[in-house]
Structure 1
């Protein structure tokens, strides 16, 4: 298995939970994170080596990442595992999967690349690379069936992990936040590149909001010690070290559950916020050269998963040049204070939660183990 970032680690852990229930002695290794390790997974390289985002940011790490993929490929071709599972990270995994599949090793890809959003031509590469696709959004099944790729809709693991009715009081107690405070959770991203480009604008917005309502509380979960160190240094260099923030080590779900509104970078975290039924503002910045390329490649007007699933702008998106501290602060303020909009979002996000709810652990593990069993049958 290969997972390339914290969200992939969480998704892979759900699959592994199901595998352990049905095949408790399976040897599982590759690249993964701490949640996978808790289930007996052995990581051959640190997952953080793959957690790079943006076209030009990846280029800077290309040699190291390619070296890891080449070494892993040779290891797996020699070992010949019963099945390979790539969890998201399509730029890393699909090429590896193509070589393994060509060598007769069954491959599963868990989480579809967003062929419905951009780079739809990848469906041909996916067909060459993937023996079976596991998808987490219901509309994706038809895309793969039409392309002749075996597919299973397994629901989204986050819909199981996150309760239908979050316990706000318990989350606030765990974080030491008063029940009557207004709380904003700030999630600038888990990748180092995301922190580099998002932090100043996000915390600049918090500074403006704190001046507007001094009683506001801000919580900022960090994915790890390295991320926290970079974040704190970025605030200091931007002159924002005096903003009243509570920086958390992990605890992103507690931070979201405790919040009245959330400022979040684009990605899986936007869906997590929706499943917690929280008003949000999605904002995102990246290297200017990457933005110049990517903005012309999108097939649809939305980047946030809640908006993509709803097929409308349920929540505001502020991207690149639009993601100024002033614009972000104004949108977050509206999310905090417009009660009718807050009620409408809770209703829509509850409907979304029900749509995405399946026994993902069991269904994903079943598909993987059936593929493994069929491969053994052919070899026999």
Structure 2
């Protein structure tokens, strides 16, 4: 087998979920390209496979339309610097790990210069901004998708595509061990546990924290035995979260705030209050009842709601094509409405049993060897 020392693959992930996706893909590639250079922008999951991050990943992490504006010049500067570097270097391939607002523009310029581009994962054009397919056609040499229904969408548009399965379906066991998770967190096996996940981005914390913890305070009025577990993505997020709780006068709500350990926190829960996004799919794969909520800047919300194609925002409901779990968005996501919806999730035993079966079926539908499938597609793109 020819040496892989001369192979260079550039990758950009702009947030923790993309870092996890790319980390698994790089793990699959490393088996075939043990000496290849992986570099660009990424986080700890990618670095485990020898990835060199040339900028801190958190410099890219921002959510929402108007939230980007104050950061535009900085983000554009990073994009241009990386583009110039890659155009000079000519890597064998560029992989954009999600983060389409940044990556698709970069991919278009690299592909025009003859550098093959892979995008992982497919932007949610089936949910909103379907017009983005025109940009994808120009930008992407090969698309890797994580939901089975996406393959036909890209095939119809003439974009080479591979369904690789969802990596989370491999990481999370079909039958999670709730008792072990509770022991790990020091919780009694018969405790009544609510896991609270207001988001990993600073903007999500800013808009979701007060309503989420306000809901916890109201739930305690119904059941004083409830234990609240709150996993935080990092020290910066933890500090911001605790400051927001204190400013809202909610510091009397007893919270077990964790550094990371989100999967343990979900596994230990009776029900989860979760911000919309990948975390809601994680909750479904752990077979837990949930309430999905989301709040963003008002101007962003008014634009985005008119661009949506689906009646749902939560991935579990989108995959099920029905409202399996409640969704409360923007002004509807008050402390009271969240508390009422969570109480039903905690107390409706037949509903809980139904969700376990539906989420188990969903789990199997997403289960493939994503690292192996994704790596095979990338290797084909670079002719290795």
Q: TM-score, normalised to structure 2's length? A: 0.97
Corresponding position of 2:221: 211
Q: 1:233 aligns with which of 235, 238, 243?
A: 243
| Offset of residue 56 of structure 1 | 0.8
Corresponding position of 1:377: none
Corresponding position of 1:136: 146
Corresponding position of 2:187: 177
| Offset of residue 26 of structure 1 | 1.2
Corresponding position of 2:4: none
Corresponding position of 1:307: 317
| Offset of residue 219 of structure 1 | 0.4
| Offset of residue 25 of structure 1 | 1.1
What are structure 2's unaligned runs of at least 5 residues? 1-10
Corresponding position of 1:47: 57
What are structure 1's unaligned runs of at least 5 residues? 375-380
| Offset of residue 146 of structure 1 | 0.5
Deviations 1:46-104 (A, max 9, x none): 11111100111111111111111011101110111000000000000000000000000
Corresponding position of 1:29: 39
Q: 1:3 aligns with which of 13, 16, 29?
A: 13
Corresponding position of 2:3: none
Deviations 1:155-211 (A, max 9, x none): 000000000000111111111111010100001000000000000000000111112
Runs of 4+ in 1 over 3 A off after TM superposition: none
| Offset of residue 331 of structure 1 | 0.5
| Offset of residue 329 of structure 1 | 0.4
| Offset of residue 212 of structure 1 | 1.3
Following the alignment from structure 1 to structure 2, what is the Cα–Cα distance between the partners of residues 10 and 265? 18
Corresponding position of 2:81: 71
| Offset of residue 120 of structure 1 | 0.5
Matched, 1:14 2:2: no
* 3-state DSSP of counterpart to 1:19: helix
Corresponding position of 1:343: 353
Q: TM-score, normalised to structure 1's length? A: 0.98
| Offset of residue 107 of structure 1 | 0.2
Corresponding position of 2:167: 157
Corresponding position of 2:257: 247
Following the alignment from structure 2 to structure 1, what is the Cα–Cα distance between the partners of residues 251 and 296? 22
* 3-state DSSP of counterpart to 2:152: helix
Following the alignment from structure 1 to structure 2, what is the Cα–Cα distance between the partners of residues 24 and 210? 53
- Number of aligned residues: 374
* 3-state DSSP of counterpart to 1:112: coil
| Offset of residue 241 of structure 1 | 1.3
Corresponding position of 1:292: 302
Deviations 1:120-179 (A, max 9, x none): 011110000000000000000000000000000000000000000001111111111110
Deviations 1:218-248 (A, max 9, x none): 0000000000010011111111111110000
Following the alignment from structure 1 to structure 2, what is the Cα–Cα distance between the partners of residues 105 and 187? 39
| Offset of residue 292 of structure 1 | 1.1
Matched, 1:120 2:138: no
| Offset of residue 353 of structure 1 | 0.3
Following the alignment from structure 2 to structure 1, what is the Cα–Cα distance between the partners of residues 35 and 194? 44
Corresponding position of 1:373: 383
